[in-house]
Structure 1
Amino acid sequence: MTLFRIFLVAALGVITVYTAIVIANHGLNLFPAFFGDMAGMGWAGQFNLDFMFMLALSAIWTAWRNGFSAGGLGLAVVAFFGGMPFLCIYLLFLIARTGGDMRRVLLGDARA
């Protein structure tokens, strides 16, 4: 569990710094580049499409874990648009709240 938490903190740190540099150099206008690559039907577009489905999977899991409640659906939207930073923070929060019980982290308290 310690290595997993270290990974989450490291991933959060790296993606935060990388994102800050990209924003500083290119601004916040992500969507034309993201969808433009997909429209180009190249490898960058394939990666973006794959990544978008991973974001959707993260959002669906987040909503499901929270019983598709209003709060869970709100978190799902944040998961989809927040990507890895959201998932790292959310998993670290859940690990702390559940005492590291991965059944409760992954399934939620009601299902575990």
Structure 2
Amino acid sequence: MTLFRLFLIGFLAVLVAYTAMVIGNHGLNLLPVFFGDMASLAWPGQFNLDFFGYLLLSAIWVAWRHHFTPAGLGLAALASVGGMLFLSIYLLIVSAQARGDIRAILLGARRARP
């Protein structure tokens, strides 16, 4: 669990720094670029479509893990646009709450109970 948490912290730090540089150089105009690449039917668009699938899958998992409660749906909305910026923080928090129990991390506390 320690290596997992170190990975999350390390990746989060790199991603925040990289994101800050991109915003500084290009602004916050992500969506036209993201969907424009998909509309071009080239490799950058293929990557974005693949990543969009990951975003949707992570959002569905977060909502399911929280039993589709209003809070879970709110977190899912964040997951659908936040990507690894959201998921790394979310997993650090839930891994601490679950005290490293991987069943509770993946399933949520209620489903992980025997």
Find the counterpart in structure 2 of residue 7 from structure 1. 7
Gaps of 5+ in 1: none
| Whole-angstrom distance in 1 between the partners of 2:72 and 2:100 | 21
User: SS at 1:110's partner residue?
Assistant: helix
| Whole-Å separation in 2 of the counterparts to 1:31 and 1:86 | 17
Question: 1:10-46, CA deviations, whole angstroms, 9 ceiling, x for partnerless residues?
Answer: 1100110000000000000001110110000000000
Task: Provide the residue aligned with 1:68 in structure 2.
Answer: 68
**Cα separation, 2, equivalents of 1:80 and 1:47:** 16
- The one-letter code of the counterpart of 1:82 is G
- Give RMSD over aligned pairs: 0.5
Structure 2 CA distance, aligned partners of 1:70 and 1:31?
Answer: 26
**SS at 1:41's partner residue?**
coil
Aligned counterpart, 2:110: 110
Match of 1:59 in 2: 59
1:81 and 1:31 map into 2 onto residues whose CA distance is 10
Residue 35 of structure 1: aligned partner: 35
In structure 2, runs of 5+ residues without a counterpart are none
Identity of aligned residues (%): 62
TM-score, reference length from structure 2: 0.97
2-structure distance, mates of 1:45, 1:18 = 20
Find the aligned partners of 1:35 and 1:79 in 2 and give their Cα distance: 18
Q: In the TM superposition, what is the alpha-carbon distance from 1:110 to its structure 2 partner?
A: 1.0
The one-letter code sitting in structure 1 at the alignment partner of 2:72 is G
Equivalence for 2:90 = 90
TM-score, normalised to structure 1, is 0.99
Q: Which amino acid aligns with 2:62?
A: T
Paired residue total:
112
Structure 2 residue identity aligned to 1:102: I
